[in-house]
Structure 1
Amino acid sequence: MNVPKQKEPISSLWDDSLAAQMSEPELLLYRSNLLGSDLRITNFGGGNTSAKVMMADPLSGEQVEVLWVKGSGGDLGSIKLDGFSTLYMDKLRALKQRYRGLEHEDEMVSYLPHCTFNLNPRAASIDTPLHAYIARKHVDHMHPDSVIAIAACANSRELTQKIFEGELGWLPWQRPGYDLGLKLEEVSKANPALKGIILEGHGLFTWGDTARSCYENTLAVIKRAGEWLDAHVRQPSFGGAVAQPLPAEERAAFAARLMPLLRGKISKDEFKLGHFDDQDAVLEFVCSRDLQPLAALGTSCPDHFLRTKIRPFVVDFDPAQPDFDKLVAGLDAALEAYRADYTAYYERCKRANSPAVRDANPIIYLIPGVGMLSFAKDKATARIAGEFYVNAINVMRGANGVDKYVGLPEQEAFDIEYWLLEEAKLQRMPKPKSLAGRIALVTGGAGGIGQAVAKQLLQEGACVLLTDIDAEALAEAQGALAKVAGKDNVASVVANITSEEAVDEILKASALQFGGVDLLISNAGIASSAPLEDTTLEVWNRNQDILVKGYFLVSRAAFRIMKQQKLGGAMVFVASKNGLVASAGASAYCTAKAAEIHLARCIALEGAAHGIRVNVVNPDAVIRGSRIWDGKWKEERAQSNKIGADDVEEFYRQRSMLKLSVLPEDIAEAVYFLASDKAGKSTGNILNVDAGNAGAFTR
């Protein structure tokens, strides 16, 4: 099986009419966004760009040379001007007097803030010296797969000379830092005709006299490397196929079945979120003869390695004889062996001042015939880790196709992973939010309460899967919530929760999208009002189907996954004051809501032994933002209470003891409390959010 070529070749997207209106910093931003928009050029969060710009000093007014360089963190494709650090070039050059040699290299980073131009708060990255000292005005540092493939070859230097015919320089592997910046300066000054430099096992530096020439030089080098590899790579890749992929639907079903089990085994100390990838490049690799030996070598580029660990975990699975139970039976021992191997690697390589050993669980999981799983503390990090390993696969294909792939030496890998500067960056990260790593399923997710609940959970760090029967409203809800929390953290499935098959698909989607489920918010609802003698069997059954059977089916399916994960869990049923207080003219609705509450109590009894808590929130008269009250229910309740439809909200407000309206956000606060660890010792309980109704007092 061969991986299909990109449909469109890499080509310049530079628009002179746009660029003509831009300042030098704006041209740097434009160039950066263009480069970052194509993952063939650099991966998400990877690479950096710079420009040396003449600007007026804010104190003296004199023109001074300022280095604009991508700051710490951020992504080139989405960076804004405030994502760049600005530093005085004369101060950066003066730093050379402070440099005391490789053993003192890290201290140079602490001097960078003293070089800041115009009090810019954006922290300078450790790559700043690599840009500062190259004797060119505009510099790009990218991590294209095609160039890293050449950089990761055993004969990298000879291939660089052969392919680029002296137009690119070459430097042996060295960890990024101040000394490497000085070496780049030396090579760039000694060879003024060079168009760039390849760093062994790392990536590419290119430059130009203008923003456009730098950008187009970068593209030309990457394109040349790719074309040369395509023309010379040996086939078949990775030693050829020894297995065939399962059909697409079977791959997805397999991953959805495995992910909650695996997630439970690696989330004992920190909740992890998962991502599944079965693109052609992944399938080619996991089905290949060389899977095991190449996986054992690990990655080469520091950007790849930092996000994917020293090496991936290869799952023992034969797609020709797909025995899921056998795989699961051997999983604990295999994971323990991986953790022991990682700990041994730490012990072999640690230094006197190394940080303590980190989580020893794998990040990347390769499954023959199925694809790749990646797990991390948040969904975006899990997805990006997978993307970086695809980059590593592409690098291994290219390098082994023309020469011999060489991974990063173990000690070098360790020194990057446990670099004190990287550790300091980790320590500066904000503390995780209260629901970080949790996966929430919200039924009735397109409604007012459903959206408010989802927003609250997302803001507290959870990932949310919304489900609703209204496809259009659900798509709108997902789009609105994605703007709040990012596309990675919210997904949706159109489904009817009264269907057993549809509910199974919902939970499969939750497993496949995020890795499982931790929080179930059963909120799907309808309302009906009619005198007893006018209540049809159809109305009665509809209330029972959605409010009782639907809640039963979803909670049963979620309960099964929570038990498999062995991580506990929380369910919150959004019931109603009417589940405790009978209302004339609403027998079907009140009875169904009472059944919901009792179902929650029953599940609480069975769930306690597994750490699964089940509680109930009882709203009353949530009118604003509610889709239920937009329809017939409002008219029916108005008629029942002998008031006008426009007076319903005021009627319910005055009826409450506190004389307050209940809003969707009020219900969301209560749901969050019961779903979170703040209510970690509460199960089988009811929390009324009704502005006060004596008849609903629990007792």
Structure 2
Amino acid sequence: MSNSAASELIARSNRLGADPKNTNYAGGNTSAKGTATDPVTGEPVELLWVKGSGGDLGTLTESGLAVLRLDRMRALTEVYPGIDREDEMVAAFDYCLHGKGGAAPSIDTAMHGLVDAPHVDHLHPDSGIAIATSADGPALTEKIFGDKVVWVPWRRPGFQLGLDIAAIKAENPQAIGTILGGHGITAWGETSDEAERNSLWIIDTAAAYIAEHGAAEPFGAVVPGYEPLPETERRARAAALAPTIRGLASTDRVVVGHFTDSEPVLDFLSREKLLPLAGLGTSCPDHFLRTKVKPLVLDLPATATLEEQLARLAELHVDYRADYQAYYDAHATSESPAIRGADPLIVLVPGVGMFSYGANKQTARVAGEFYVNAIGVMRGAEALSTYTPISDAEKFRIEYWALEEAKLQRLPKPKTHQGRIAFVTGAASGIGKAIATRLAAEGACVVVADLDLEKAQAAAAELGGSDVAIGVAANVADGAAVQDAIDAAVLAFGGIDLIVNNAGLSLSKPLLETTEKDWDLQHDVMAKGSFLVSKAAAKALIDQKLGGDIIYISSKNSVFAGPNNIAYSATKADQAHQVRLLAVELGEHGVRVNGINPDGVVRGSGIFASGWGANRAATYGVKEEDLGQFYANRTILKREVVPENVADAVYVLTGPELSRTTGLHIPVDSGVAAAFLR
């Protein structure tokens, strides 16, 4: 990086953003002012480097900074048309940019440019927001910080807030920062280190004061029956609830889920103030933009039956949607964007935990993290005072802000499988791994299920972090193991949409050499295994009421009588007929069931590598290394079938183009006439 001020800013931002006590993910912004040489005039020019829109402090790099000419940015005060038109200033920031590239300036750019300090931090720490949302926040600010920190009444982020803070800095030379009512903190310094020290001093001083002077039980007493269930029972109940809750939360648009049963969440859910505090909603804009203004709270004890909880959740969901519609109707104007959906993004179940939702796994996970932040804020505010978030009218002004709508409109078009949760068996290698890879590339969340947990986790890691894929152990011949794997999937991503029965093995033997053990092994893994996976997954699919897909990776051998593989071909025929049977049975639930019949897939295949390839090569009288080409030569197209070809077929069958297709088998065999479907 060419400028030391900017380099120090990156380092400071990463340190601050790495610790969740300082700010939430993608929350807050930092800046530095310095001098660089204008490449056109060769003269020095004062610049402002500031974290751009949408970035995260903990992972900030140079490309995430907006760089503006400070003289031009500050000159905007001369043309500022007033608070009623302050949104126009965001577009004006573009005319202040210096150089090429960089991030788009955020709404908080004015705060950083107008405050007369070389380094400025704006952060969202729980301890600071606790003071900012206290009923007597101004008095607490003075009591805790003296004249070093100044209270700023709530104002929506923008140019006017920047002017306000700049004036406070000028009028209070002894001050090192501010508490922004309902929102967060801002601090500054002459050096980068000083700004960081000042930010941390405010955060730590607030936290220490709350710890020393706050009430011992700010959320009230534990309510009998609302205590956390034992962990095993709690996780089982969460897995049983998750598909139904996701279905409710997906009424307007399909969402992905995340589950949290951390101690702060379970404690909050057990307390007598749960309902009144949750009903007040969150306050910091970063929080409620991702959590909605308030959560849906199940008002039943943890001791209620699953059936009672499910029935009550359905009733509360109807009420929640009506309440959100009323909130929208009460505050919307003719210029407001259309309502974006009335479903909850946070669902709280006492004794069990929190379900959070978003367009993808990262968004769902971050929404949950933000609500944990909100719990921390409420705890601190109630410990010292009374939690008093900004009004619903102010929340609406931000949630349906034209600038926020413009940001949403700039989001890239979702991929075909975004929001879908795929469960692929035998996915640590070969065809299964290729399918998992293709579905993840198309936006799906993927559960890599395999007999070998270590290989499953390694394959999932290749697809990205846990926001993209997870690996689980799955012995498909064991019903309990299958249910555990499905439960892991719904807890990881909220539910399940797309199942691929791919796990398999093969023993190439003629009839007289095929043992009863060989027969049972083949049928346990593929016929019985597919049945067990489909049964466990179908329960979740039906509970979700979102439809779904079940795909069977069968084989051309399900219809073609190849030599010396009686057990393998018979179980593949069993799988093929399961497709037809389940397509008929599950169609009323919107679940489509289809199959794929590949020819011998040699390259990358775990089955072929484990001895099947050598046996088939011997059967056909060719070298094992020539087996793929042998298969290709006997087809109409004379082309070898590879795992990616099967993955392509799964993508097409589960994509939007074949939404009216069920009970179909697609050959992926380069054309084997003897295996033509009739």
TM-score (norm 1): 0.95
Paired amino acid for 1:148: I
Give, in whole Å, the separation in 1 of the partners of 2:297 and 2:421: 26
Counterpart residue number, 2:389: 407
579-588 vs 113-122, which moves further = 113-122
TM-aligned CA deviation for residue 573 of structure 1: 0.5
Which of 347, 353, 358 aligns to 2:329? It is 347
1:317 touches 1:323 (CA, 8 Å); kept in 2?
A: no
Q: How many equivalent residue pairs?
A: 676
Q: Is 2:567 the partner of 1:588?
A: yes
TM-aligned CA deviation for residue 22 of structure 1: 8.1
Give, in whole Å, the separation in 1 of the partners of 2:53 and 2:674: 58
2:67 touches 2:102 (CA, 8 Å); kept in 1?
A: no
Which of 451, 465, 475 aligns to 1:469? It is 451
Counterpart residue number, 1:264: 247
State how 1:268-287 maps to structure 2 within 5 Å.
Answer: 268-287=251-270
State how 1:587-606 maps to structure 2 within 5 Å.
Answer: 587-606=566-585
Q: Is 2:41 the partner of 1:60?
A: yes
Give, in whole Å, the separation in 1 of the partners of 2:3 and 2:405: 38
Give, in whole Å, the separation in 1 of the partners of 2:251 and 2:379: 35
Counterpart residue number, 2:15: 34
Which of 496, 502, 512 aligns to 1:523? It is 502
Paired amino acid for 2:557: N
Q: Is 2:187 the partner of 1:206?
A: yes
TM-aligned CA deviation for residue 649 of structure 1: 2.1
Give, in whole Å, the separation in 2 of the partners of 1:394 and 1:265: 27
TM-aligned CA deviation for residue 331 of structure 1: 2.6
Q: Is 2:406 the partner of 1:445?
A: no
Give percent identity, aligned residues only: 46
TM-aligned CA deviation for residue 207 of structure 1: 1.4
1:32 touches 1:76 (CA, 8 Å); kept in 2?
A: yes
259-268 vs 338-347, which moves further = 259-268
Which of 273, 296, 301 aligns to 1:290? It is 273
TM-aligned CA deviation for residue 287 of structure 1: 0.5
Counterpart residue number, 2:361: 379
TM superposition outliers: structure 1 runs of 4+ over 4 Å: none
Paired amino acid for 1:59: V
Where 2:569 maps in the other structure, the secondary structure is helix
Alignment RMSD: 1.4
TM-aligned CA deviation for residue 459 of structure 1: 1.6
Q: Is 2:409 the partner of 1:427?
A: yes
TM-aligned CA deviation for residue 352 of structure 1: 3.0
TM-aligned CA deviation for residue 618 of structure 1: 1.1
2:119 touches 2:195 (CA, 8 Å); kept in 1?
A: yes
2:17 touches 2:58 (CA, 8 Å); kept in 1?
A: yes
1:130 touches 1:184 (CA, 8 Å); kept in 2?
A: yes
Give, in whole Å, the separation in 2 of the partners of 1:261 and 1:661: 43
TM-aligned CA deviation for residue 656 of structure 1: 2.2
Which of 588, 601, 615 aligns to 1:622? It is 601
Counterpart residue number, 2:292: 309
1:547 touches 1:592 (CA, 8 Å); kept in 2?
A: yes
Q: Is 2:161 the partner of 1:146?
A: no
Q: Is 2:618 the partner of 1:636?
A: no
641-650 vs 249-258, which moves further = 641-650
TM-aligned CA deviation for residue 653 of structure 1: 2.3
1:271 touches 1:436 (CA, 8 Å); kept in 2?
A: no
Give, in whole Å, the separation in 2 of the partners of 1:398 and 1:239: 13
Which of 579, 582, 585 aligns to 2:558? It is 579
TM-aligned CA deviation for residue 37 of structure 1: 0.8
Paired amino acid for 1:290: K
Counterpart residue number, 1:459: 441
Which of 230, 238, 255 aligns to 2:211? It is 230
Counterpart residue number, 1:332: 314
Where 1:198 maps in the other structure, the secondary structure is strand
Q: Is 2:377 the partner of 1:395?
A: yes
Give, in whole Å, the separation in 2 of the partners of 1:139 and 1:314: 39
Paired amino acid for 2:412: P
Give, in whole Å, the separation in 1 of the partners of 2:573 and 2:363: 42
202-211 vs 541-550, which moves further = 202-211
Deviations 1:247-289 (A, max 9, x none): 1111111111111112222323311111111111111111001
Give, in whole Å, the separation in 1 of the partners of 2:48 and 2:92: 15
TM-aligned CA deviation for residue 690 of structure 1: 1.1
Give, in whole Å, the separation in 1 of the partners of 2:454 and 2:380: 45
Which of 164, 169, 179 aligns to 1:188? It is 169
TM-aligned CA deviation for residue 217 of structure 1: 2.1
Counterpart residue number, 1:43: 24
Give, in whole Å, the separation in 2 of the partners of 1:293 and 1:221: 29
TM-aligned CA deviation for residue 531 of structure 1: 1.7
Which of 54, 57, 63 aligns to 1:76? It is 57
Which of 619, 625, 636 aligns to 1:646? It is 625
Paired amino acid for 1:93: R
Paired amino acid for 2:129: I
Which of 326, 350, 364 aligns to 1:368? It is 350
Which of 477, 481, 500 aligns to 1:502? It is 481
Give, in whole Å, the separation in 2 of the partners of 1:478 and 1:305: 32
Counterpart residue number, 2:148: 167
Where 2:87 maps in the other structure, the secondary structure is helix
TM-aligned CA deviation for residue 307 of structure 1: 1.1
2:238 touches 2:352 (CA, 8 Å); kept in 1?
A: yes
Q: Is 2:67 the partner of 1:86?
A: yes
Counterpart residue number, 1:216: 197
Q: Is 2:234 the partner of 1:251?
A: yes
Give, in whole Å, the separation in 2 of the partners of 1:100 and 1:269: 39
Paired amino acid for 2:48: L
Give, in whole Å, the separation in 1 of the partners of 2:579 and 2:629: 32
Counterpart residue number, 1:418: 400
Deviations 1:403-445 (A, max 9, x none): 1110111111110111110011111111222112111110011
Paired amino acid for 1:515: G
Counterpart residue number, 2:112: 131
Structure 1 gap segments, 5+ residues each: 1-18
Deviations 1:430-486 (A, max 9, x none): 12221121111100110221111111111211111111001222121011111xxx4
Counterpart residue number, 1:14: none
Give, in whole Å, the separation in 1 of the partners of 2:453 and 2:237: 27
Paired amino acid for 2:71: D
Where 1:628 maps in the other structure, the secondary structure is helix
Structure 2 gap segments, 5+ residues each: none
Q: Structure 1 pair 22/119, CA: closer, same or farther in 2 (3 Å)?
A: closer
Q: Is 2:591 the partner of 1:612?
A: yes
TM-aligned CA deviation for residue 190 of structure 1: 1.9
Counterpart residue number, 1:7: none
Paired amino acid for 2:230: P
State how 1:677-692 maps to structure 2 within 5 Å.
Answer: 677-692=656-671
Where 1:61 maps in the other structure, the secondary structure is coil
TM-aligned CA deviation for residue 121 of structure 1: 4.5
Deviations 1:497-516 (A, max 9, x none): 10011111111112211122
